[in-house]
């Protein structure tokens, strides 16, 4: 399959209508998003990239057009929506635009089922296409306008390879008779609740890097600075580390900055606020003993069942040769214990496992909770093949680069201020 690196920027009503005609005629579309989270406190989607029938569309939701018209495509059960690491994109698209999803597929989850050595998109493009994708725009500011052509080219190629990769993955999933397991997980992802519109990142001092290396008084100051940073970041809708970086917090706590250096780094107002924090801690010193062992506490009554389910998880991982992320997390295990699940129906109501996992893991989970033997149930599970050593390569010097020269981009794409110009292969649909 020849990969098209050209892109079509969709920023107005007319170009959106033309793009929708093209998308609605496709059997499969590849989808990705770019968000503002690296720069803002409240993350929002700034671009939606969709490749369909070998054409790369970049939709600009910040522009003056009704991006919600894409909703009919996303909920159309006859069109496969292909993602890499679908869950975050799906939940964010639901949060920002209220989209619904039917019939999705996920190359990241598929790569785990297939036992590939790594699961990133970059790795999959290398694995299946022997092409290295550039990472130069990973931390780009996607909220700024206008976006430059290098950003747009980067965004377009995030979806350009997905369909080709999925075709190969789907064939292998079918060969190994595990496609039904994958589809069940995709259905579960489609039904995930959206990310919350308002997010609050609690300032946990004990999660600060190398917190145990500080003395108790310094830990208190760190907590107070983190609280200050969090409140200002939320008020300004700015990523917390852009208010005060962890590196600078250490310098402030250790008093490694001269007054003029601190002002130069933080500004006069913020520097003054932090000086007040240093002089007036909000509470007593924080000892190592104050550091919680985990984000949740397992009671003595819950401990036996918790251990049994963790042991069950380890056995399933070993039996099936799978990654721990494909099985219930510690929090989900604790939820099952606290919900007093006694039947398959009880597990299903928690909405934490796909239908396939409930059908294939449910009985052994219930037996593990009762400390009964479940070896027979595990023996019936499909053992996955490990593809980690199946394919390797050394990238060739003449591999097509992800980012082409400015001249080549300009040859392939023409973008005007208020309208879109399609490349020579795009079908132009007359206005009705």
At a CB cut-off of 8 Å and minimum separation 6, what does 135 contact?
Answer: 122
Structural contact between residues 114 and 385, judged by C-beta atoms closer than 8 angstroms: yes
d(CA 404, CA 425): 20
Structure tokens belonging to residue 419: 């309208």
CATH topology of domain 205-290: DNA polymerase; domain 1 (1.10.150)
**Over pLDDT 70: what percentage of the chain?**
88
Structural contact between residues 52 and 104, judged by C-beta atoms closer than 8 angstroms: no
Q: Which of 175, 165, 170 is nearest to 1 (CA)?
A: 165
pLDDT of 401 above 50: no
What's 7-198's CATH class? alpha beta
pLDDT of 238 above 70: yes
Structure tokens belonging to residue 271: 């520097």
Please report which confidence band the pLDDT of residue 403 belongs to, taking 50, 70 and 90 as the band edges: very low
Q: How far is CA 53 from CA 79, 161, 413, in A?
A: 12, 12, 17
Instruction: Summarize pLDDT for 41-96 with one digit per residue, the tens.
Output: 999 999 999 999 999 999 999 998 999 999 999 999 999 999 999 999 999 999 99
Structural contact between residues 179 and 106, judged by C-beta atoms closer than 8 angstroms: no
Other Cβ atoms closer than 10 A to 374: 20
Structure tokens belonging to residue 362: 């449910």
Summarize the confidence of residues 159-169 as an average pLDDT.
97
What is the helix, strand, coil percentage profile of the chain, to 5? Answer: 50, 10, 45
Any idea where the domains of the chain sit in the sequence? Answer: 7-198, 205-290, 303-379
d(CA 99, CA 109): 22
d(CA 128, CA 361): 32
Please report which confidence band the pLDDT of residue 200 belongs to, taking 50, 70 and 90 as the band edges: low
Torsion of CA 232, 233, 234, 236, to 10 degrees: 80
Instruction: Summarize pLDDT for 331-366 with one digit per residue, the tens.
Output: 999 999 999 999 999 999 999 999 999 999 999 999
Summarize the confidence of residues 113-124 as an average pLDDT.
95
**Which residue has 């990142």 as its token pair?**
201
Please report which confidence band the pLDDT of residue 147 belongs to, taking 50, 70 and 90 as the band edges: very high
Higher pLDDT, 412 or 63: 63
* Three-class secondary structure of residue 59 per DSSP: strand
**Which residue has 């909770």 as its token pair?**
369
Please report which confidence band the pLDDT of residue 197 belongs to, taking 50, 70 and 90 as the band edges: confident
Residue 133: predicted pLDDT? 86
Q: How far is CA 177 from CA 147, 189, 390, in A?
A: 44, 21, 18
Q: Is the peptide bond preceding residue 146 cis, with omega within 30 degrees of 0?
A: yes
- The per-residue DSSP string of 155-200 comes to HHHHHHTHHHHHHHHHHHHHHTT-HHHHHHHHHHHHTPPPPPSS--
Other Cβ atoms closer than 10 A to 122: 15
Summarize the confidence of residues 199-225 as an average pLDDT.
90
Quote the mean pLDDT of the chain: 88
Q: What is the DSSP letter of 371?
A: T
d(CA 309, CA 278): 46
pTM for this model (two decimals): 0.85
């Amino acid at each position: 399959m020849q990969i098209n690196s050209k892109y079509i920027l969709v920023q107005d009503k007319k170009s959106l209508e033309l793009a929708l005609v093209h998308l609605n005629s496709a059997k499969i579309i590849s989808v990705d998003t770019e968000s503002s989270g690296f720069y803002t406190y409240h993350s929002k989607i700034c671009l939606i990239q969709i490749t369909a029938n070998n054409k790369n569309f970049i939709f600009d939701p910040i522009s003056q057009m009704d991006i919600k018209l894409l909703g009919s495509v996303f909920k159309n059960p006859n069109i496969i929506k292909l993602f890499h690491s679908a869950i975050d994109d799906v939940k964010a698209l639901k949060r920002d635009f209220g989209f619904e999803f039917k019939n999705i597929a996920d190359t990241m989850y598929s790569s785990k089922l297939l036992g590939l050595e790594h699961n990133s998109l970059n790795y999959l493009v290398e694995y299946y296409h022997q092409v290295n994708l550039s990472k130069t725009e990973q931390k780009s500011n996607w909220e700024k306008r206008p976006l430059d052509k290098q950003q747009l080219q980067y965004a377009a190629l995030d979806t350009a390879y997905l369909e080709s990769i999925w075709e190969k993955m789907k064939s292998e999933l079918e060969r190994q008779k595990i496609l039904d397991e994958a589809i069940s997980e995709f259905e579960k992802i489609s039904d995930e609740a959206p990310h919350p519109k308002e997010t609050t990142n609690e300032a946990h001092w004990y999660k600060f890097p190398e917190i145990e290396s500080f003395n108790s008084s310094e830990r208190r100051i760190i907590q107070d600075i983190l609280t200050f940073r969090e409140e200002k970041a939320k008020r300004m809708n700015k990523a917390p580390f852009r208010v005060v970086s962890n590196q600078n917090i250490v310098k402030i706590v250790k008093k490694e900055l001269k007054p003029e250096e601190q002002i130069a780094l933080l500004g006069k107002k913020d520097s003054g606020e932090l000086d007040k924090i240093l002089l007036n801690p909000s509470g007593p010193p924080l000892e190592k003993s104050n550091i919680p062992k985990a984000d949740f506490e397992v009671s003595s009554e819950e401990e036996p069942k918790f251990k049994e389910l963790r042991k069950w998880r380890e056995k399933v991982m070993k039996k099936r040769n799978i990654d721990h992320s494909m099985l219930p997390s510690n929090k989900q295990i604790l939820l099952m214990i606290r919900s007093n699940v006694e039947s398959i129906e009880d597990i299903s109501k928690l909405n934490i496992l796909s239908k396939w996992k409930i059908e294939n893991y449910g009985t052994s989970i219930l037996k593990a909770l009762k400390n009964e033997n479940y070896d027979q149930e595990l023996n019936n599970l499909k053992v996955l093949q490990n593809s980690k050593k199946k394919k390797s390569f050394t990238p060739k010097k003449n591999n097509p680069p992800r980012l082409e020269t400015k001249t080549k981009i300009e040859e392939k794409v023409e973008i005007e201020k208020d309208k879109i110009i399609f490349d020579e292969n795009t079908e132009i649909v007359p206005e009705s």
